[in-house]
Chains A and B, each alone.
Chain A
Amino acid sequence: MVTPSLHTGSRALLKKIGNFTLSGYAILFFLFLYVPIIILIVFSFNDSKSVFVWQGFTLKWYARVFQDARLLLALRNTLIISVASTVISTIFGTMISVAMERWDFRLKLPFDALLFLPIVIPDISMGVMLLAFFGLIGMAQGLGTVVIAHVAFNISFVAVIVRARMASLDPRLEEAAQDLGANEWQTFWRVIFPLLLPGIMGGALTAFTLSMDDYVITFFTSGNESLLSLYIYSLVKTGVKPNINALSSLMILVSMGLVLLSLILQRKGGGDNVGLM
């Protein structure tokens, strides 16, 4: 009986070593994810024009970001677009989610496909498609066309998230409300809507983030408007500068804040993290 126990003993040791190696590897992976971002943030406080040698702490690059008139204009335009496209796509996306998860109808499959396609199609294709379309109908490019384009891709993302939430609702709740004498309108606003709300908020925040971040589709639909992602892109193209680091750090902060907010909202309703997929 000695040999088998020795055998299991060495097996346990091997398992421990394996587990240890795997954990070390996973930590390295998380470093790979975070180190580039952390370096970017650290060097945004560097008091040197040549970015790469540490010469002491400064906030002057941040001050410069807030004094950049072109940037502030771009930020204002981008916020207008993101808010507008988020509001429209969240309302439309929620409406279609309720319908699609509630009823069966003949054209459902093609609708499903149409709703899903904007997620699958590459940004570049969607961008040139809309460029060609707006050109053909003679619509002047500007903030309006960017909002239209952003709604066109955001509806699909909102719908994916809200539908997941809708599908997880217990249909008996609705029946119970109607048994108690609520009509469909009351049932929706008093029962379904409050339960959907975490999903709707998650969808809205996802839409807002996607709209803020989008470069490719915005580029092809914006004409000469000055917008945040286009402005950052033009800066990045010219090379590394400390004020880009500062601006990037601010954007990292805002994105991470939004993700955390979205998670908190979705958790509150006991939902899963589908908004982040």
Chain B
Amino acid sequence: MQKATTKRQRIALWTLISPTLFWLTVFFAIPLLVILFYSFLKRGTYGGLVYEFTLNNYVRFFDSLYIKIFLRSFRIAAITTLLSLLVGYPVAYWMATRPARWRNTLLLLMMLPFWTNFLVRTYAWIVLFSRKGIINAALVHAGLIDKPLSLLFNERAVIVGLVYGWVVQMILPCYASILGFDFSLVEAAKDLYANDLKAFTKIILPLTMPGIVAGSILVFIPSLGAYVTPDLLGGGKTAMIGNLISQQFGSANDWPFGSAISMVLMVLMMIGTVVYFRIAVSGDKTSTGKGG
């Protein structure tokens, strides 16, 4: 990559950059600063904003009600991530160890549902889970249960919906790191340990860790910020951070508090992303060691 040295090059550079720079500054960076600003304001008696500085919105998190929603969101996001790993890693392993001519087809098969409208995919679970849904109808019909089970509107349904929504983001990076894994190391290990489980936990797992970490962050981030899934599959009782924010900008009409929650959520996401890049970079370093 070169430096833009001549005047002509500098003009070209800024011409190419300025439309995006303008758009993202005005319609992204400034709105971000607006809610940062709002998060330090007071709410008026009937909603609205009072231009007085306060830290109260950030202190309010520690109310037991909000702490509960935060903890629930973290729990749901963590369980979703763990389940995605348990469900997804073996699939990634299987795909990466298939013959090369199959792999692209398998990847395509996996991505097709992932690129289908998220609302529609969430709705599909309502069709399956609702009281008069497919699963209940089948179970009643088979005589296994008398009255329908309540499968919908609980934490379990939210977790199923989130795993279904994001597991592909776990599989892709795991698949990539297993694909780059040198299986002659396993042969060498087996000659020494003669145990599949040990070869897996001591060689394969540590060396594909960058993929696991990347996948975990790619699942954890959207799960933590989820809005649609808890709203549709969780009902009112399993609200997550996203629903709390939406409520502050809607019915609760407390924009300063909503802004503060939103800022905290964004900062958490950014920390996650920085960790992701740290690990992605160190992952690159270990993979260059293999030379190939």
Residues of A within 8 A of B (CB): 14, 18, 22-23, 25-26, 29-30, 32-34, 36-37, 39-40, 43, 50-53, 91-93, 95-96, 98-105, 111, 114-118, 120-126, 128-133, 136, 148-149, 151-152, 155, 159, 184, 209, 212-213, 215-216, 220, 229, 232-233, 236-237, 239-240, 244-245, 248, 251-252, 255-256, 258-259, 263, 273, 276-277
The 3 closest A-B CB pairs, nearest first, are: A122-B225, A133-B31, A36-B124
Find out whether the CB atom of B20 lies under 8 angstroms from the CB atom of A95.
yes
B40 at the interface (CB under 8 A from A): no
Q: Is the CB of A215 within 8 A of B119?
A: yes
Whether a CB of chain A sits under 8 angstroms from the CB of B128 is: yes
Once the chains are docked, how many angstroms separate the CA of A101 from the CA of B249? 39
From A26, A53, A233, A255, give the contact of B116 (CB < 8 A).
A255
Please tell me if the beta carbons of A22 and B90 are within 8 angstroms of each other in the complex.
Answer: yes
- Which residue on B lies nearest to A247, using beta carbons? B120
Number of interface residues of B (CB under 8 A): 83
Query: Which of A40, A93, A124, A133 is the one whose CB lies under 8 Å from B120?
Result: A40
Among A33, A91, A102, A248, the one with the most B-chain Cβ atoms within 10 Å of its Cβ is A33
- Binary per-residue interface labels of chain B (212-237) against chain A in the complex, 1 for a CB within 8 Å, 0 otherwise: 00000000011011011000100000
Interface residue SS majority, chain B: helix
Among B14-55, those with CB < 8 Å from A are 15-17, 19-21, 23-25, 27-32, 34-35, 38
Total A-B residue contacts, Cβ distance less than 8 Å: 238
Assess A239 versus B130: contact at CB under 8 Å? Given A133-B34, A152-B23, A255-B115: yes
Task: State the majority secondary structure of interface residues on A.
Answer: helix
Shortest Cβ gap from A111 to chain B (Å): 7
Contact flag A122-B269 (CB < 8 Å), given A129-B262, A132-B31 = yes
Given contacts A40-B127, A103-B9, 19 further A-B contacts (CB under 8 A): A18-B196, A30-B109, A92-B23, A105-B13, A115-B20, A124-B246, A129-B31, A130-B31, A132-B34, A132-B249, A133-B27, A151-B23, A152-B27, A184-B12, A209-B115, A232-B117, A236-B119, A240-B123, A273-B111
